[in-house]
């Protein structure tokens, strides 16, 4: 999966040593986690809106929940109002 030596090889080695994951699986986990934390605020808001909407929540509940989740992101963005969240989703 990772053809060249990356700066994450030590993390992959650690996962292989400390979990039942094989090297390819550990590399995939590392790449998935990095992709998750690479998500922009706008991408996060849109993704969570789709996920929560699919669960049957209405916008008032969705924007409330997203507003509560944002401060807990790895690099928390500035606080966004429900109006700002709506603009990200609907433009």
Over residues 6-44, the pLDDT tens digits come to 678 999 999 999 999 999 999 999 999 988 888 899 999
Residue 1 pLDDT grade (very low, low, confident, very high; cuts 50, 70, 90):
very low
Burial per residue of 18-41, b for 16 or more beta-carbon CB atoms within 10 angstroms, e otherwise: eeeeeeeebbeebeeeeeeeeeeb
Owner of token pair 């790449």: 31
The rounded mean pLDDT for the chain is: 90
Give pTM, 2 decimals.
0.65
What does residue 60 show for φ and ψ, rounded to 5 degrees? -60, -45
């Amino acid at each position: 999966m990772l053809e060249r030596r990356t700066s994450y090889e030590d993390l992959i080695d650690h996962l292989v040593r400390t979990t039942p994951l094989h090297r390819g699986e550990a590399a995939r986990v590392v790449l998935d986690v990095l992709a998750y934390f690479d998500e922009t605020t706008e991408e996060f808001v849109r993704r969570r809106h789709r996920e929560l909407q699919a669960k049957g929540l209405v916008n008032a509940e969705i924007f409330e929940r997203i507003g509560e989740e944002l401060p807990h992101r790895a690099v928390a963005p500035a606080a966004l109002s429900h109006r700002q969240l709506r603009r990200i989703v609907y433009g």
